[in-house]
Structures are given as structure tokens and as C-alpha cells.
Structure 1
């Protein structure tokens, strides 16, 4: 990757963030109720072939009697995939990537006809030195998700990584600019490996995975998907419902220019005024900070070697992995994930998990604690997570 001349000023000005911490932002909601096709589109984009979320006949015979949204779908029905309260405030000449999130789920599920109200409250921030971009701001924000009747059904504390894009380019810590070159035989092997997790989900079907029948040290089936591509990243982006033209009650809380995004990355993404003039300028795939995911030129402009996936999607992959193993009678009650690096174009993703504890909580729920890891084909860690999953006794 080409680098600039050494940057003289190496400071990161985060002073404006103090003006926002703890202050609620404008709530967000979609204009229409949720539809079964929203769940299907999400499952498809997240590589999650669980019949419970896309096959109506199968779902009708199960616990819910109809299609139900994946637990991970919550993030699709909100604004900015949870990054808004973790990215508010001006940091001059900066860019943002997703660094992790912690989820709490409170029981209610989403079905067609529901509507989600997304509440956003900036939480805190800290500046640390990193090999990626020198002084780097780790900012957190709370996202509370309510159903139309006011029921709080999920909370997400997201972490964004805000950094000087010129320092990231100068330091050039990520330098693998070329996609892996997979042979036909390797691709065929990847396809066969994908079936291990898929078949485990199908074999459990509508059955119960009982708490009594699992033990500390048990390994979850390995989940493999990919290779990732610009096409798969674009499919992810289009499954986030905020990207649909005219589909949301927009606001200008997270105007990229006001947040300090630099130069051509400070476009009109999600701008409610420009959306009525030329919506292609606002949907993030073509103009604005999100296009770094889809175009090599703009990925390298912000310090990435080549197109890369969305951090929020990695969080969804983790929740789907846990929920798919637990089955429709199980439930992810808490998951804390840290993202080490994105899914780059050409890479595959390999998920593993292990039960590390069994417990009964103060509500009498039977829980297993699972440590999960996400890595690419070279063994490079992409994310780690610790989660508590409820199973029937």
C-alpha cells in the first residue's frame, strides 16, 4: 500500500465528544412495520440458512407457529447498525470502523407487523495508542430497542474505533492488498465444510437442545462461510433496512461532515434532504464513508488494504452462530464481542465455540457460557466473544 510522507501533527482531538456523552439522541424508526421478507433478506445476507427465518411452512410447525426474526435482526431495524451513539461528536480528519458490541436480550421476539423504536445514548470514550493509527479513540454508545408497545427487548452497547485516516495510511499496518487465490479444489472443500454447521441446525430442527445434555468442554460445530466478495458485502449492506430509500424517519444527528470525516468520505450518507433530490448520494454504497467497504480505492484511502465487510455483520454472525446451535427453544441472553479485524474480500470466515461453564442465574434460567472465536483461513483472529445462552432443562 502506498504511504504518505510522515505526518508532523500526530494528535487526535476528541474534545468535542464531551458535549454529547450521556445525552439522548433523536430516536429512530422505520416508516413501515416489519415484514417476513425483511427477515428472509437478513438471513440471506448474513449467510444464515436457518429455515425458521425464511421457510414459512417449516416455521409454522415450530415453536412460534410462523416466521420469526433472527435475534441478530435487531440491528437491521435500527439506525447506523449501532454506531451512531458511539460515533457522535467531531474528531477532525477522522474515520470510523466498528470495534465490537455487547448485547443483552430480554425475551420478546420480532414478528411481521412489529415496529422497532431505536433509542441512542452516547456512553463514554477513551484514547489509546495503536499500531494501526497511533492515537485512537474507542468510543461507546448505548442502543435501546423497543417494540411498538414500549417493551424493551434488546440493548446494545457498541464500540466504535475512531482514528486519523492519514496516520493509518502512513503506518500501513494492513498491507495485504491482493485477494487469496483459491483453486477449484479448495473452493469445493470450502463448500463441503459449510455443510457441517448447516446440517447441525437442520438435524436439531424443532427439537430441544437440553441444558442437562451438554457439558463443559463440548465443542460447537464449526461454521464456515465465504469467500467474501464485493458482492457479498453489498448484499450485507442492502439488508440493513436504514439503507432503503425513503424507508426511515431520517435525522441529521450523524452528519459525516459534522463528525469530522475527512474529504471525500464526508458525503451525504443518510441525509434526509439530499435523499429527496438524488438518493444515490445518500445510501452509503456509492457516496460517503461506507463506500470504503466496496471500493479498493476508498478502502485504501482510510487505511484498509482492500474491500472489507461490516463490523456489525460480524456481530450478527456471532449471534446467529450461537442461536443456530441453541435451536428455536434456546435463547442468547447476553453476548460480548470484540472485533480484531474485518472480513476482507477473498477471505473465508471460520467460527468455533466451546462451552466453558454451566449455571443457573437469579431468574432460574439454565444457562451455558460459550467462548467463541472467528478467524480467517490463515488463522488470523477476526473476533472473539463470550456469551450466555439459555437452554431448556
Structure 2
């Protein structure tokens, strides 16, 4: 048994995988093909309980998401889900068989290549309520090759996920920016090797706690469009210091990462048999998921990071928490774009701030554009985001979601019609 994972056969096997020109060509040939998503996530149908648990897994205690009695008194008439939760809800959608050519293109595509979620773009069209079952279809939108300071040659891809409820209505469109890198290249660079784990005095923790203590959910108090001006600050929020417990709570709240979800016992054996390249032996010789870099410091170090770090989607959900607290119960976050610019390592604390960029009226709706940034205790910007929020105004106290583009609404209705047709067979 190797005492150092960096010297082990398993490590060598893990870093031998390389990005090839053939992989890139195959990825590009997949652009534009949409497929019904057959994955069964941890959550398939929203309930008051799993909405609350997901919100709590993000550190969000907004009563609109967590308190049915409170929520019944709002414009929504009951609990709704935090917007980005819809990414973690999915029931299998039935669709026509995937063409053989698509199967050939996908087979062993980018095998053993490490994937970082580097950001996303969201468009929201309606809320998720208890009782809603969410289905989706997805496809690759773009593929770009870049040279990265951290990881050398890399591939940047965007996948579009269209989230649809049981009525065939588009709930949201989620575009995921992914960076694919070779593990051997990332490990050799060692760009972040000088970063040391952060330690905190009692006074340091007290200063962070003071930020938590001053955070406020706007709730039923309205943030009127007329009272907002360009340049206004939109508050301060803290997240952290990051612990393994935070990652566990995010998984427990509903983040499944299917089909690569952490599993136990016989289920882990079956998953390892199905996707062996995703399992790398640890220093004890035990096959374990490659994504353990989010809680296993030794494996994170083996692929070029000084310690374990969060999932990018955790901070994306923290971003939505920040925005929805500011918008209040009647405001609607309609669009979010974010870029994950730095790792959030175990022990790091994120301070979230933002400001109003502009306000405008469009299509009879009162919209506010904002910018948000996350900054860690080293003074580094780790997330940069922008968002559009529909706010109530004195003449239109209840803003509406935007209309779904007609072609997308039609495609979603057809996909769900085919799903129900195949379900009857």
C-alpha cells in the first residue's frame, strides 16, 4: 500500500488521461442535440419539507421557503422553492432512443478528465411549488479550447438544461459553464500550493458573527422600484468559514450530483462497476469517488490544490440567497449570471456585497440590474455575478415573471407530450 497518493499506481493511472483532438471534435459534433434527461435526482417532486431542507443546506432561513404559515400570507399563497433549487430536482423524462451516432460520439468522451463548474447563467420563468415534479431536457450549446494559467490546455463547454414542470411549463433555463482539465497538468502547475489553511481567533469569529447578526430578510416589507437608485449598496452577507460539515449539509439538503452521487455499500459497488474511471483508490487502497476532493485534503492536493474546496454550485446558491433576501417576498429574481473565479477552500470565509447598476422599464416590468461579488479573507474576489430583479412599484405592486420564448415553450410542451405518450405504453 502506497503511503503517498502522489507516488501510487492509482495516482499515475488517474493522471494519465489526456484531452485529445478527437475528444474536442466529438464534443463539437454534439452541439445542438437535446435529449430528455433520464436521471433520477435525490428530489423528484418538491415538498414543503425538502424545500426547507434544501434552503437550510444553503444556510437560508427565509420564511418564504421555510415556514408554511408565513408563506400562506404572501402573494404566493404558500411556500415556494429558492430559485436555483430547481437544478437539483429531476424526475426521469421519457424520450425517443438516442441515435447510434450520438452514442458513438459520447462513448468514453473526455474519459478521466477533471471537470470544474466555473459558472452559470439562469433565466427564471415561474416558481416551483410543493407538488411540482420537475423534468428536464438538455444539450451542449458551445465548446471552446483555451490555454489556462492553472491547468494548461482546457476545454470550456456550456450545457443548457431546460427545467419543465408536470404541466409542460418551462420553469427555468440553466446554462452550466464547465472547464475540463487534465489532472496531470493541474497537479504539476501547483499554482495555489503556497496557500495555507486559514486559522481564526475568537475575535475573528466574533467579527464574522457580527455580519451574520446584522443580515436581514426583507420579507413582506416591499422594496419599491421607485426607492432604488443606481449605486445603492444591496447589503452584506457572510458565508463560512467553510467546513466539511457545510458540504455534507449541501448534499443532505438534496444535492445529488447524479449519476456520480456519493453512494454506500452495494450501491457504491454497482456505481463503481458502471463508471470505474470515476473511482480512484485512496492512500488505504480503497476505491472512492473522484469528487472527494471536496472533503478529502489529500486527494485535493493530488490534483494540484492545497486543500479541499467547495462545489461551485454551493456559492451559486449562496448568491441566490443574497439576491432573494434583498428582493423581498414580492420581488422576483429573473436572471443571474455568475463566474466562479477562485476556489473556496476549507476554512475560507466569503463576504458577499453588491450594488445597483441601473434600473429600467421593459415590457411593462420594472427591472433592476445589480452586480455582486464574493471576497474571501485574503481579499480575493472568488465570485463575480450580475442579476436582474423585477421589483414592485407603486402602480404595479406585484411584478411578473418574463414570458418564455415561444420556440422554447413549444419544444418543452412537445417533449412533455412525448414523455406522457411513452409513459402510457
Question: What TM-score, normalized to structure 2?
Answer: 0.76
Match among 88, 98, 110 for residue 117 of structure 2: 98
Tell me how far 1:151 sits from its aligned partner: 0.2
- Equivalent position of 1:298 in the other structure: 299
Residue 191 of structure 2 is aligned with which of 163, 168, 173?
173
1:143-179 Cα offsets, whole Å, 9 max, x none, are: 1000110000100111001001100100111214542
SS of 2:69's partner is: helix
**C-alpha separation between the residues in 1 aligned to 2:350 and 2:272?**
31
What is the rounded CA distance, in whole Å, between the counterparts of 1:190 and 1:360 in structure 2?
Answer: 38
Larger mean CA deviation between 60-69 and 282-291 belongs to 282-291
Residues 354 and 378 (structure 1), Cα distance of their counterparts in 2 relative to 1, 3 Å cut: same
- Output the TM-score relative to the length of structure 1: 0.82
Identify the residue that residue 164 of structure 1 maps to in structure 2. Answer: 182
The offset of 1:32, in angstroms, is 4.8
Structure 1 unpaired stretches of 5+: 80-87, 244-249, 255-267
Structure-to-structure mapping, 1:234-253, within 5 angstroms: 234-242=248-256
Give the Cα–Cα distance (whole angstroms) in 1 for the partners of residues 225 and 273 of structure 2. Answer: 50
Q: Aligned in 2, Cα 1:146/1:8: closer, same or farther, shift over 3 Å? A: closer
Shift of 1:100: 0.5
Matched residue, 1:351 = 352
Contact 2:233 2:356 in 1 (8 A): yes
Q: How far does residue 94 in structure 1 lie from its aligned partner after superposition?
A: 1.4
Aligned residues: 354
Q: CA deviation at 1:195?
A: 2.3
Q: Which residue of 2 aligns with 1:368?
A: 368
- The answer to whether the 8 Å contact 1:270/1:282 transfers is no
Displacement of 1:78 in angstroms is: 4.2
Q: d(CA) in 2 for partners of 1:352 and 1:188?
A: 19
Distance in 1, matches of 2:315 and 2:273, equals: 26
Mapped to 1, the partners of 2:51 and 2:17 lie a distance apart of 47
Structure 1 residues 130-279: aligned runs within 5 Å: 130-176=148-194, 178-197=196-215, 199=216, 201=217, 204-242=218-256, 269=261, 275=267
1:102-135 Cα deviation digits (max 9, x unpaired): 01111x2111111000211111111111111111
Contact 2:37–2:136 (CA under 8 A) maintained in structure 1: yes
- Cα displacement (A) at 1:324: 1.3
Relative to structure 1, the CA distance from residue 11 to residue 205 in structure 2 (aligned partners, 3 Å threshold; closer, same or farther) is closer
Q: CA deviation at 1:194?
A: 1.3
Give me the whole-angstrom Cα distance separating, in 2, the residues matched to 1:287 and 1:3: 16
Cα 1:91–1:354 shift into 2, 3 Å? same
